[in-house]
């Protein structure tokens, strides 16, 4: 099967070119200057089976979202998107690869968690996917299992300095996992918040009768993120392991990352659209509406310069990746999962942490980068596709358009406008955080390994099309 994408503007992290892209089966086989009269210069002997006209449109690599939580058990319920619904919604939004998190249960082997998550995703996904491993219980066996998982293509391990009693690891456990990573080439991903201090602040707030959603952020002040980020960096430098700080939201935490990178340390960080676009005005929406935006790290006050610092960090490469931390919970009762966000009515500490975003990331980042003139087209591609693929060992199979790359491609129409609305999303959740945002530009057609899976607003794929990705190690190391 030969598909020609003709007449478009191909954009990668390094190029912007008028070019035709020829795909054979699942792979890009040629990129060439278009020839007068519409005939591609890629091949003079054989005509394609299919031509996709991309005239006037951008031809981007498919998005790579390296932080999602389909079906995650959290706060007494489960994230409402399954691997089926969440990966299909991702495809609608222009994301063709995601990396989710398998979870170790405390007291149980890590391999059991890996097997469980592999089974959940198997045969369900619309797009290609991989796993990081959440390490909930660092012990002698876990450390050995980190080596085994590296062989399975799980080359990154997330630890938590937050959520005491749930996913939290002690400093000693974290340091041991980092020493193992230094030895076997893994990347340590860190949820960097001082959960012990945060728990004290939460109890004190509740005792004062401060129960509304906004207190979720008030009781997780920037210093609790910055301190934990500093500590994680110190341990990673001592152990000699790469460190990737997840969902960074506070400018003070970014300062810690910048200082480490200036020292030449292998320290990296992602932020997420919610921290670039949302703030306390959202958390303070009337009634219980603010619960929509409860996630950790929290969205921050607009008055303290966090958003500006994050955008600057993206421009300067102090921040390297934008992921979503997609972890949706419904505001109204979910048909099968029941009460979700409402678990926290009258007590913000019981609101399940997390929000939806896997479908809007590509579009919202285009909106912030291009419509709002904050970043170049190349940098847009770099932060939503190329660097995420490199960071987690998938490049150049994923994250670019190059000869030999998987034909994961988004044809994006800058000439069509759209208004983001809960009425048109495909995620299994009853709201979008970006309701009413008017975006100049729209995902038009999406190809996953050469197959057109989104066209004219229709999903043309089938569950199970997505394949498991065995990943290599971090390709961003200094
Ligand atoms: O609020 C969040 N981020 N929920 C998902 C779990 C995590 O910490 O990533
Ligand atoms: Zn986290
Ligand atoms: Zn997360």
Please report, in tens digits, the pLDDT of each residue of the chain (478 residues total): 999 999 999 999 999 999 999 999 999 999 998 765 555 555 544 689 999 999 999 999 999 999 999 999 999 999 999 999 999 999 999 999 999 999 999 999 999 999 999 999 999 999 999 999 999 999 999 999 999 999 999 999 999 999 999 999 999 999 999 999 999 999 999 999 999 999 999 999 999 999 999 999 999 999 999 999 999 999 999 999 999 999 999 999 999 999 999 999 999 999 999 999 999 999 999 999 999 999 999 999 999 999 999 999 999 999 999 999 999 999 999 999 999 999 999 999 999 999 999 999 999 999 999 999 999 999 999 999 999 999 999 999 999 999 999 999 999 999 999 999 999 999 999 999 999 999 999 999 999 999 999 999 999 999 999 999 999 999 999 9
The closest-lying atom of ligand 1 relative to the alpha carbon of residue 295 is 1
Q: Which of 327, 350, 355 to mutate to test the pocket of ligand 1 (most atoms within 8 A of CB)?
A: 327
| Residue 367 phi, psi (nearest 5) | -60, -50
Q: Which of 101, 296, 324 to mutate to test the pocket of ligand 1 (most atoms within 8 A of CB)?
A: 296
Instruction: Please name the residue whose Cα sits nearest to atom 3 of ligand 1.
Output: 296
Instruction: Please name the residue whose Cα sits nearest to atom 7 of ligand 1.
Output: 296
Instruction: Please name the residue whose Cα sits nearest to atom 5 of ligand 1.
Output: 354
| Dist. CA 335–CA 320, nearest whole Å | 38
Q: Which ligand is nearest to the CA of 159?
A: 2
Q: Which two tokens stand for residue 37?
A: 């009269």
How many whole angstroms from 445 Cα to the centroid of ligand 1? 30
Q: Which ligand is nearest to the CA of 217?
A: 1
- CA–centroid distance for 276 within its chain: 14
Q: Which residues have C-beta atoms less than 6 Å from ligand 1?
A: 69, 191, 247, 295-296, 325, 327, 353-354
* Confidence at residue 42, expressed as pLDDT on a 0 to 100 scale: 54
* Confidence at residue 37, expressed as pLDDT on a 0 to 100 scale: 53
* Confidence at residue 44, expressed as pLDDT on a 0 to 100 scale: 40
The closest-lying atom of ligand 1 relative to the alpha carbon of residue 296 is 1
Q: Which of 247, 293, 349 to mutate to test the pocket of ligand 1 (most atoms within 8 A of CB)?
A: 247
Q: Which two tokens stand for residue 236?
A: 């990673």
- Cα angle 408, 423, 65 (rounded to 5 degrees) comes to 30
- CA–centroid distance for 328 within its chain: 13
How many whole angstroms from 246 Cα to the centroid of ligand 1? 10
Largest pairwise CA distance in the chain: 77
């Amino acid at each position: 099967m030969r598909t020609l994408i003709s007449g478009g503007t191909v954009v990668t992290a390094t190029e912007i070119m008028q070019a035709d892209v020829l795909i054979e089966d699942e792979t890009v086989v040629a990129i060439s200057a278009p020839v007068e009269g519409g005939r591609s210069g890629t091949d003079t002997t054989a005509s394609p089976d299919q031509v996709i006209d991309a005239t006037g449109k951008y031809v981007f690599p498919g998005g790579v979202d390296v932080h999602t939580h389909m079906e995650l058990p959290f706060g007494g319920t489960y994230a409402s998107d399954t691997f089926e619904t969440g990966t299909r919604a991702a495809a609608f939004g222009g994301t063709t690869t995601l990396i989710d998190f398998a979870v170790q249960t405390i007291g149980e082997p890590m391999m059991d968690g890996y097997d469980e998550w592999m089974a959940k995703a198997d045969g369900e996904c619309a797009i290609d996917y991989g796993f990081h491993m959440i390490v909930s219980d660092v012990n002698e066996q876990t450390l050995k299992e980190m080596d085994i998982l590296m062989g399975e293509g799980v080359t990154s391990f997330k630890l938590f300095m937050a959520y005491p009693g749930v996913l939290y690891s002690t400093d000693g456990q974290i340091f041991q996992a980092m020493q193992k990573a230094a030895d076997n080439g893994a990347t340590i991903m860190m949820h960097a918040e001082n959960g012990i201090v945060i728990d004290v602040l939460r109890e004190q707030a509740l005792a004062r009768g401060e129960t509304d959603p906004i207190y979720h952020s008030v009781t997780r002040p920037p210093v609790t993120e910055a301190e934990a980020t500093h500590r994680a960096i110190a341990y990673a430098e001592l152990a000699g392991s790469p460190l990737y700080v997840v969902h960074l939201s506070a400018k003070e935490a970014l300062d810690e990352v910048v200082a480490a990178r200036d020292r030449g340390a292998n320290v990296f960080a992602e932020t997420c659209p919610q921290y670039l676009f949302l703030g306390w005005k959202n958390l303070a929406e009337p009634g219980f509406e603010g619960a929509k935006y409860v996630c950790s790290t929290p969205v921050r006050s607009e008055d303290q310069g966090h958003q500006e610092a994050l955008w600057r960090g993206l421009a300067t490469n102090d921040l390297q990746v934008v992921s979503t931390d997609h972890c949706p919970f419904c505001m109204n009762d979910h048909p099968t999962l029941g009460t979700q966000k409402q678990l926290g009515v009258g007590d913000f500490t019981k609101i399940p942490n997390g929000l939806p975003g896997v479908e809007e990331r590509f579009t919202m980042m285009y909106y912030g980068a291009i419509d709002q003139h904050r970043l170049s087209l190349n940098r847009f591609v770099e932060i939503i596709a190329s660097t995420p693929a490199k960071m987690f060992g998938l490049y150049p199979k994923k994250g670019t358009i190059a000869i030999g790359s998987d034909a994961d491609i988004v044809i994006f129409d800058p000439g069509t406008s759209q208004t983001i609305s809960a009425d048109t999303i495909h995620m299994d959740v009853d709201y979008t955080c970006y309701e009413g945002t008017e975006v100049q530009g729209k995902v038009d057609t999406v190809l996953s390994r050469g197959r057109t899976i989104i066209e004219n607003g229709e999903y043309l794929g089938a569950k199970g099309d997505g394949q498991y990705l065995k990943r290599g190690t971090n390709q961003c190391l200094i």
